[in-house]
Amino acid sequence: MVESGSNGMSFIRLSASSNRPARPRRSIIQV
């Protein structure tokens, strides 16, 4: 679902912002 490049970074940033910037590393792993 997530593509490599700026799209992936944008998706991770949106996910972290929507959820909580307390564990952005877990979000990236889950994504």
Q: Where are the domains of the chain?
A: 1-31
Closest CA to 31 of 7, 19, 10, 15: 15
Query: Quick check: 2 and 8 in contact, CB under 8 A?
Result: yes
| Predicted TM-score (pTM) of this structure | 0.21
How would you write the pLDDT of the chain (31 residues) with one tens digit per residue? Answer: 555 555 556 666 666 555 555 555 665 555 5
Write down the pLDDT at residue 20: 59
Q: How many whole angstroms separate alpha carbon 23 and alpha carbon 6?
A: 20
Amino acid (one-letter) located at 19? N
